[in-house]
Amino acid sequence: MTIKRADKAGFCFGVNRAIDMTVKAASLGNTASLGPLIHNQQVVDYLASKGIGQVNSIEELRKGQQLVIRSHGVPPEVYTEAENKDIKIIDATCPYVQKAQRLAKKSSQESFVIVVGDKTHPEVIGILGWAGENAQAIESLEEAKALPYYPSIAVLAQTTQRKSNFNLIVDELRKHTDNLIVHNTICSATEERQVSAGKLAESVGLMIVVGGKSSSNTRKLKAICSEKTTTYLIETADELQNDWFKNVKSAGLTAGASTPDWIIEEVYRKMSEIMEKTNAVLTGEDSNQTQDSNPVEGSTQAQDSNPVEEGSVEVENSAEVEDSAEIEDSVQIDNSVTHNSEDGTMDNFATELPTIYGGAIVKGTVVKITDEEVFVDIGWKSEGIIPIDELASTRVLDINDIVKVGDQLKAMVIKTENKEGHTVLSRKRVVEFEARERLAELAETKEEVQAKVTEIVKGGVIVDLGMRGFVPASQLELSYVEDLNVYLGKTLRLRVIEYDQSKKKLILSQKDILLEEQKAKKEKLLQELNEGDVVKGIVRRLTNFGAFVDLGGIDGLLHVSDMAFSRIKHPSEIVQIDDEVEVQILAVDRERERVSLGLKQLKEDPWSKVAEKYPVGDVIKGEVVRIAPFGAFVNLEDGVDALVHISQLDLKRVAKVEDVVQVGQIITAKVIESKPEDKRISLSMKELLLDSERANAKNALDNQPEIPEVVIGDAIGDVLQNNEE
């Protein structure tokens, strides 16, 4: 037979805090609580033994007395009445309840407030008081269906409300309004206890739920477990009955948030004794056999192989810091450990509530540091120790980076005494709790926060913000990050983009901040930049059509056609990445956030002097840089190309340009047309050939021999003379 304990059971942080505040206030005397501090008679009796009275109204108090507001909270008029009567308030309202009160007050200004919970419960009465007349409490789906239509509804939950019931009512409320605002104010600690108890009940033949029978959250625990297995609700170990355990192979144990560890421990011990005897009867073994021979699952005996000594508190399952709501700035957590006022020891748990117990918050001074532990003087019978993995929410490379000897700190008790007699503490759980209000605020306000990278993990980095935070690699920079290791130890500027305290999920982004700054710079630059301005920038990216130049907040496009007057194939012929360039603003499109840049515009246009340099009739040389079906383009200088039309290539008819000239060939041609205003020069190789022929013809004509002059008389004179003879 085994006994299994629920992972989450016993005091939550809110109850811990309420008791500690009350005990501390009691030391000053004249202290009373308004109603029972928590729904646990044993704790109430203990507080009464410390001189803490109980009143039902302000009228019962005398001027100058202290009044403890219990964890359930009260309506605002109670504070007013106390102030009018000069009563000092010790506000022990649970932080979760305080959050619900604030939300109710704020929501009631614009919406009708629905509180899902028991309308007779002090907590619900208090929340309704903060909401005013514009509010109503319901607890069932039937009540929700009966509601009329409201233009706007804000729905909250009693902190101990079952999530499944809350969700059903929320779905129904959507039919009664066009604007439903949902505030899930269910205490995650309560929800965790309910889930843990439900899972445990599925695996055992019997469940024992320990807690006040008037406690709402304890009754809900019983209801949940009863759906899975046979369940009994008890307040003390004396209520356990032997018959319940007959034919039971395994039993489960859980407790409400108002149940102290020492009561849970008593119940556990008695359950162990009953099951041990039952097992002995079934097996025929000696009923006095020690429990060591049959370890109980989850028990101290199973862990330490030693029975728990009578009068000590042993916490087998490390107590978790419970999730909390946002805490009012006025709430101060002061849980200094104080010894029993009578004998300085806590040996008699039957009559005294221990001041050191699992989940208690204590203050202490660091007195010694080793490689694996920090020793803290907490004013107890032995020093407390903080293991290295309980120092911070992230991996600790060097303890001395976190704490130093002489530092004062707060820590949570996770084990009252280990084998060496030390109280085991956790600093990270208190830090995490204290950070949660701030993180919730950061998630809402999107305020920037700085944190150091402590670990590199797959897909991102881990930072310590009191809680383990994850920064995805995609959220580190504006561009892709190849090597995450360069961020180890680096402080990042971060913004919370996702926060779920119940799941302990914290995701942050540095990229969001950088994008916002980039956008602000871009907007400012877009207003400052004007067409014609000459600015400097850095080439960040090259494409086939141009280069993108960072102007200090916005990237402008330097198109390939605006890089040079000459024709270029790729921007890399002119600029390279990271080059600093001086460019001119050609156009600014503020609506589309685009800037066009020019580089060649800062140079002298070579066409401005073409008329002087290449007049019609001049014979010039140039390189063939491009061939087209209609002719060849010849480069005369940077930015100046001339065309030799196919008809001007040769004297004879040319079928293909390539039959006469090739790219890269240096040719000589004659300028036959020059129109700089149209950026056009026409050349002719044919004209040179014709000029050559004309010159040759003229030269031949000029060099012919002289022919004697002959007149007709001279030519026929001799003929006539001969005829006469």
Residue 334 pLDDT > 70: no
Tell me whether residue 46 is in a domain.
Answer: no
Q: Mean pLDDT for the chain?
A: 81
Helix, strand, coil % over all residues of the chain, rounded to 5: 35, 25, 40
- The SS3 of residue 573 is helix
Across 201-282, where does the E strand assignment appear? 206-210, 230-234, 250-255
- Residue whose entry in the numeric block shows the structure tokens 């999730």: 323
Of 419, 445, 471, which residue constitutes the final position of a domain? 445
Tell me whether residue 713 is in a domain.
Answer: no
| Claim to verify: residue 182 and residue 193 sit in the same structural domain | no
Q: Give the DSSP H/E element, type plus range, for residue 627.
A: strand 619-628
- pLDDT value at position 643? 93
| Claim to verify: residue 569 and residue 674 sit in the same structural domain | no
Ranges 1-15, 568-582, 655-669: which has the least confidence: 1-15
Model pLDDT for residues 136-161, shown as the tens digit of each residue: 999 999 999 999 999 999 999 998 88
Rounded CA Rg of the chain: 46
The Cα-based distances of 37 to 56, 86, 116, 362 in angstroms read 12, 21, 23, 21
Per the structure, the count of domains in the chain is 6
| Claim to verify: residue 452 and residue 462 sit in the same structural domain | yes
- pLDDT value at position 189? 74
Spatial separation of the C-alpha atoms in residues 582 and 598, rounded to whole Å:
9
Spatial separation of the C-alpha atoms in residues 116 and 180, rounded to whole Å:
14
Model pLDDT for residues 572-592, shown as the tens digit of each residue: 989 999 999 999 999 998 888
| Claim to verify: residue 595 and residue 612 sit in the same structural domain | no
- pLDDT value at position 284? 52
CA 192, 190, 269, 238 dihedral sign is negative
| Claim to verify: residue 431 and residue 357 sit in the same structural domain | yes
Spatial separation of the C-alpha atoms in residues 698 and 399, rounded to whole Å:
105
| Claim to verify: residue 161 and residue 248 sit in the same structural domain | no
| Claim to verify: residue 624 and residue 577 sit in the same structural domain | no
Spatial separation of the C-alpha atoms in residues 26 and 92, rounded to whole Å:
13
pLDDT, mean of residues 55-63: 84
Q: Which residues fall within 8 angstroms of residue 421, CB to CB, at 6 or more apart?
A: 382
Q: What is the largest CA-CA distance in the chain?
A: 189
Tell me whether residue 536 is in a domain.
Answer: yes
| Claim to verify: residue 217 and residue 240 sit in the same structural domain | yes
- pLDDT value at position 233? 93
| Claim to verify: residue 427 and residue 492 sit in the same structural domain | no
> Among 559, 552, 543, 479, which Cα is nearest to 518's?
552
Model pLDDT for residues 526-556, shown as the tens digit of each residue: 888 888 899 999 999 999 999 999 988 888 9
Of 136, 170, 186, which residue constitutes the final position of a domain? 186
Of 394, 415, 445, which residue constitutes the final position of a domain? 445
- pLDDT value at position 715? 62
| Claim to verify: residue 108 and residue 135 sit in the same structural domain | yes
> Among 217, 210, 311, which Cα is nearest to 267's?
210
DSSP 482-532: S-GGGGTT-EEEEEEEEEETTTTEEEEESHHHHHHHHHHHHHHHHHH--TT
pTM over 0.85: no
Active-site amino acid positions: 123
CATH of the domain at 497: 2.40.50.140
| Claim to verify: residue 325 and residue 440 sit in the same structural domain | yes
Spatial separation of the C-alpha atoms in residues 86 and 498, rounded to whole Å:
44
Domain span including residue 214: 189-285
Tell me whether residue 298 is in a domain.
Answer: no
- pLDDT value at position 721? 66
CATH of the domain at 127: 3.40.1010.20
> Are 89 and 79 within 8 A, CB to CB?
yes
Tell me whether residue 382 is in a domain.
Answer: yes
Tell me whether residue 40 is in a domain.
Answer: no
Model pLDDT for residues 357-404, shown as the tens digit of each residue: 667 788 899 999 998 899 999 887 778 999 988 998 888 878 888 899
| Claim to verify: residue 327 and residue 436 sit in the same structural domain | yes
Tell me whether residue 311 is in a domain.
Answer: no
Tell me whether residue 305 is in a domain.
Answer: no
